[in-house]
């Protein structure tokens, strides 16, 4: 089993900041976004704080760039497996 490469947010932005993602779901104060960039899939989660979530604006039909976030979690998936990940322990 291959180890998942951990990324800093700076590394993630450099590699995936220009990739486009769209809103996909909301659960327990977490907004999830997904997208495809070249041959990889991107899964991003952001939010988590019930006192700040009201400030979040989401348009389900709009594509946004990964670099517009400072998410809790970013996963990079290739061939159905997570190959890289950023995780903020806030």
Higher pLDDT among residues 75 and 28, named by residue: 75
Question: Rounded to two decimals, what is the model's pTM?
Answer: 0.89
Tell me: the pLDDT tens digits for 18-74? 999 999 999 888 899 999 999 999 999 988 777 777 777 888 889 999 999 888 999
Number of domains in the chain: 1
How far is C-alpha 54 from the geometric centre of its chain's CA atoms?
A: 19
Q: Which domain holds residue 12?
A: 5-87
Rounded CA separation 43/66 (Å): 10
Higher pLDDT among residues 28 and 76, named by residue: 76
Higher pLDDT among residues 13 and 60, named by residue: 13
Beta carbons within 8 Å of 46's beta carbon, 6+ residues apart: 30, 31, 33, 56, 69, 70, 71, 72
């Amino acid at each position: 089993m291959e180890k998942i490469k951990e990324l800093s947010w700076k590394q993630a932005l450099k590699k995936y900041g220009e990739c486009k993602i769209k809103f996909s779901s909301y659960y327990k104060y977490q907004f999830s976004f997904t997208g495809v960039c070249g041959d990889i899939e991107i899964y991003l989660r952001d939010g988590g704080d019930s006192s700040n979530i009201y400030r979040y604006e989401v348009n389900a039909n709009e594509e946004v760039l990964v670099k517009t976030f400072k998410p809790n979690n970013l996963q990079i998936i290739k061939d159905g497996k997570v190959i890289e990940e950023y995780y903020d322990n806030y």
